[in-house]
Structure 1
Amino acid sequence: MEDTTTAFAGGLVAGLAVAVPLGAIGVLLLTEGLRHGLPRAWGAAAGVATADALCAVAAVLLGAAAAPLVTGLAPWPAVTGGFVLLAVAARGLVRGLRTPASDALATTASSSGHGRSPGTLRRPATFFALTMVNPATLVYFAAVTTSLDGVVRTLASGAAFVVGVGLASLSWQTLLVAAGSALEGRVGPGVQSLTTLAGNLVVAVLGVVVVADALR
């Protein structure tokens, strides 16, 4: 029981350590909340948390072998992730440059459907994929589980660690989406467009940095 509690606490700490630093995914979650509100954008937070939990599962199952396995693929996972971020940023910039009138038209068109747009259905999968292309998450969790050797060694303690990671990640990602959604409806279309443009520019810069660091 003590090992399970310790593993769960370790998962919470590890999940927050990965989630809290505001990187490209965090910026995108803030933008999602601003553009779509918490109910529609929460799926993006769930997609990120699911990816973090899956990386934790892989780290628990593979243990110390996970880090060298992923590191051996360098630099291509990081390069791929950087280019994916650039593609996402480019798409976001194009959308952010639309006029307020076209935004209103798009909102009207989506609301006249069946309550869920294709974008809403794609949101969790998109953010899941964006998170999974970052190899650093798996390497980090592998290092943590190795340091917890003797604690994360049974099925119960391993599951507790994964649950802790998932809950910590989901809580933080939801907080980011909620922070963005708090501004929804309180700012005009012009300010919202500028915020979206700024967020996607940050993501583009981070994508360039990721690619440059990987190829250095």
Structure 2
Amino acid sequence: MTELLSPTLGGAVAGLGVAMPMGAMSVLLLQEAMRHRRTAAAAAAGIAAVDLAYAGLATALGPWVASHVSPIEAWVRLASAAILLTIAAHGLTKSNPAPPAFEERGPGRSPGTPTPPTPSGPAEPPAPPAQPAKAFARYVGLTALNPTTALYFAALTTAQGASLGTGAAGAAFLFGVGAASLLWQQTLVAVGALAGTRISDTTRVWTFRLGYGLVAAYALKIAFPLPTLG
């Protein structure tokens, strides 16, 4: 049982690393929660399902790739770590108090959506909430549009091919990814239902930094031991 703890925790860290940066998808989810919590819960499950699907595909292919490049395994790990550090650095450079307009989703979510202008006329009645199944499908589609998440998990699992070579270890890793991502998304739903979209810029910046900080930490973990030139 204890041998599965490490891949489970590793999957949880990977899942939080991809889920926590709070940007466009997170803001949309908060807005959905403010309107209708049940619909938002289905949308959150859609986001987590894409994270899990990308992780599952990468976990299935990663060990196979790693087994065919075993002579240069240390260099593969180093290249994977470089990809992750690039993703983290790119995300951290965007973590500023004034997020830019809607962008594609990064390894977690990209930074923010524009604030709609305040209407000058009478307020329109709120639109009826979408069906939970439709919300799930919509958020699956929105989340899957950006391939960076797939690249993120591919880099992780290729670098750890040997440790995820058994079915039990791979399943534990996927469980950690899915559970952590879903837990974070449902936490956002709860926050949105209680506080609406009144999330401060400072809070958004620090969740963004923490999420990409986890990506950078994971990159350093898989980079060592470094390859030797001898």
- 2:190 pairs, out of 178, 187, 193, with 178
- 1:142 pairs, out of 147, 154, 157, with 154
Given the two structures, how large is their TM-score scaled by the length of structure 1?
0.62
**1:148 Cα deviation from its structure 2 partner:** 2.2
**1:101 Cα deviation from its structure 2 partner:** 5.3
- 2:124 pairs, out of 80, 102, 113, with 102
Q: Distance in 1 between matches of 2:132 and 2:169?
A: 35
SS of 1:152's equivalent in the other structure is coil
Q: Distance in 2 between matches of 1:19 and 1:128?
A: 14
Question: How many residues are treated as equivalent by the alignment?
Answer: 162
Deviations 1:160-183 (A, max 9, x none): 111110000001111111111103
Q: Distance in 2 between matches of 1:98 and 1:156?
A: 58
Check whether the contact 1:4–1:151 (CA below 8 A) recurs between aligned residues: no
Letter in 1 for 2:124: S
Gaps of 5+ in 2: 67-82, 84-102, 105-112, 199-230
Question: Match for residue 15 of structure 2?
Answer: 15
Q: Distance in 2 between matches of 1:148 and 1:130?
A: 28
Gaps of 5+ in 1: 72-80, 83-88, 111-116, 185-191, 196-216
Given the two structures, how large is their TM-score scaled by the length of structure 2?
0.59
Letter in 1 for 2:42: G
**1:147 Cα deviation from its structure 2 partner:** 2.6
Matches within 5 A, 1:17-32: 17-32=17-32
Question: Match for residue 140 of structure 2?
Answer: 128
Letter in 2 for 1:32: E
Q: Which moved more, 1:7-16 or 1:142-151?
A: 142-151
Q: Distance in 1 between matches of 2:120 and 2:160?
A: 50
**1:2 Cα deviation from its structure 2 partner:** 4.1
Consecutive aligned runs of 4 or more in structure 1 exceeding 6 Å deviation: none
Letter in 2 for 1:166: G
**1:9 Cα deviation from its structure 2 partner:** 0.8
SS of 1:156's equivalent in the other structure is helix
**1:118 Cα deviation from its structure 2 partner:** 4.5
More helix by share: 1
Q: Distance in 2 between matches of 1:131 and 1:98?
A: 33
Letter in 1 for 2:13: V
Compared CA separation, residues 181 and 103, structure 1 to 2 (3 A): same
Question: Match for residue 63 of structure 1?
Answer: 62
